[in-house]
């Protein structure tokens, strides 16, 4: 007698991943709106590899950042090379710009979207495999590029219907000289309070003091309020650049508020830094963020190249979109009330779809109840097929304008 088989346990999803189903329409609405606007703003669509050489991210994000030291999914391939699933888009786009000769198109406006990977604690709207939309302008040193990107982002939030309650927070990090002077002043200031800072901030003090300014630890917040501000160290050129960005935003009708503590810790960031924030997502309130990163190409071994960009989490945008992106009602439902008329129904729905009319076929369940079910579902038009005296007959239930459109499509 054979042993009874042990029931096979269904594997569970990996922690921090998601199967997008009920939220899929909101997710798609975000992407479709982004794609429509990137064409409006004349950004070129690019597709990037999901993994890169680990050095692309360790050199661009900094060996000592949390992303590189704790959150990257890195592995050794069969050839012994260290590869990493992309934790963000910008580094890969910069690598592509340098290695593919895209300088010939500069300034080039690029847009992409897709999955990214970080091993971090899952929380509301944050996953280990997550998705972003991303827009960059590479090769443009003028503040007008910053304005165009921010106008793009602002219009995106407007057209997604989620702009209410979202605020654009804006700051300047100055040029290289301004930033270096500010960095030195921050080190001097925080050294006077070193013993009272959090362990993370003590570790960051010499190598990344700007990160202390956005610390959430209560021990650090007590000292951050009195820390030196970038405005004390801005060169005349840096002041003019920020002034051009803010006046451009005013001209474009983009509302903004100054956030003098908003920073980017990595040294290649310059001038504009920004975040669109809301209190509708809990403590993690950033909806979209970015800045100017004029020093990144040099960090990757390329020539000095000005660049600015932003990214936004699709999951978080979709959460804000919510029910605004419910599945649209079909333009027409084709009902087969007699199974002998199924071929006529299939032919009809094909004609409707080729004419650009969204249509659903109802040919299962009780034939007598199919028409009533179609009425309950709701559609602009119902096209019903039945068999009378051995002949296939049809009737259309719709408003007059829709009837003419349906009849024309069925006649072709």
Binding residues: 88-90, 118, 132, 136, 264, 268-269
> With contact defined as beta carbons under 8 Å apart, do 67 and 61 qualify?
yes
**Residues 273, 174: contact at Cβ < 8 Å?**
no
Q: Which residues contact 288 (CB under 8 A, 6 or more apart)?
A: 153, 156, 157, 275, 276, 310, 311, 312, 317
Structure tokens at 168: 């654009």
DSSP bridge pairs for 257 = 169
Q: Which two tokens stand for residue 313?
A: 């989490």
The tokens for 55 are 């050095």
**Residue 278 contacts residue 287 (beta carbons within 8 Å):** yes
Longest Cα–Cα distance in the chain:
97
Sheet hosting strand 51-53, strand order edge to edge: 51-53, 82-85, 74-76
Task: Decide: 236 and 190 in contact? Cβ < 8 Å.
Answer: no
User: Both tokens of residue 61?
Assistant: 């994000």
Identify the H or E element spanning 110.
Answer: strand 108-117
Distances (CA, A) of 67 to 60, 85, 307: 11, 12, 22
Helix (H) or strand (E) holding 307: strand 307-313
Binding site membership for L-histidine: which residues?
A: 88-90, 118, 132, 136, 264, 268-269
Cα 92 to Cα 107: distance, rounded to the nearest angstrom: 17
Phi-psi region of 222 (alpha: psi -120 to 50; beta: other; left: phi over 0): alpha
Number of helices (H), then strands (E), belonging to the chain: the values are 14, 15
């Amino acid at each position: 007698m054979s042993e009874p088989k042990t029931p096979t346990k269904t594997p569970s999803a990996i922690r921090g991943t998601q199967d997008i189903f009920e939220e899929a329409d909101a997710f798609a609405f975000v992407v479709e709106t982004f794609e429509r606007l990137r064409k409006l703003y004349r950004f070129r669509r690019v597709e990037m590899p999901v993994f890169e050489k680990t050095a692309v991210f360790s050199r661009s994000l900094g060996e000592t950042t949390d992303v590189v030291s704790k959150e990257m999914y890195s592995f050794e391939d069969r050839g012994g090379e260290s590869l990493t699933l992309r934790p963000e888009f910008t580094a890969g786009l910069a690598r592509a710009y340098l290695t593919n000769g895209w300088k010939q198109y500069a300034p080039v406006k690029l847009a992409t979207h897709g999955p990214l990977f970080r091993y971090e604690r899952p929380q509301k709207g944050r996953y280990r495999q997550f998705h972003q939309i991303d827009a960059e302008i590479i090769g443009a040193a003028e503040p007008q590029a910053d304005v165009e990107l921010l106008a793009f982002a602002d219009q995106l939030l407007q057209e997604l219907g989620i702009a209410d309650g979202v605020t654009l927070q804006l700051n300047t990090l100055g040029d290289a000289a301004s930033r270096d002077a500010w960095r030195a002043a921050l080190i001097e200031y925080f050294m006077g309070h070193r013993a009272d800072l959090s362990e993370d901030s003590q570790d960051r003090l010499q190598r990344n003091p700007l990160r202390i300014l956005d610390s959430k630890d209560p021990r650090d917040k007590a000292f951050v309020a009195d820390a030196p501000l970038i405005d004390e160290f801005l060169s005349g050129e840096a002041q003019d650049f920020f002034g051009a960005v803010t006046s451009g935003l005013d001209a474009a009708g983009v509302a903004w508020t100054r956030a003098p503590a908003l920073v980017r810790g990595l040294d290649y960031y310059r001038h504009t830094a920004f975040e669109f924030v809301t209190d509708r997502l809990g403590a993690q309130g950033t909806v979209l963020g970015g800045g100017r990163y004029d020093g990144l190409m040099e960090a990757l071994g390329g020539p000095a190249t000005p660049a600015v960009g932003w990214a936004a989490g699709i999951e978080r945008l979709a959460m804000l979109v919510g029910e605004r992106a419910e599945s649209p009602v079909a333009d027409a439902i084709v009902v087969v009330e007699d199974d002998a008329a199924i071929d006529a129904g299939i032919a009809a729905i094909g004609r409707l779809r080729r004419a650009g009319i969204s249509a659903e076929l109802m040919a299962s369940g009780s034939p007598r109840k199919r028409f009533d079910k179609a009425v309950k579902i709701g559609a602009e038009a119902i096209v019903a097929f039945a068999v009378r005296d051995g002949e296939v007959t049809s009737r259309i239930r719709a408003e007059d304008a829709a009837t003419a459109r349906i009849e024309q499509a069925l006649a072709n």
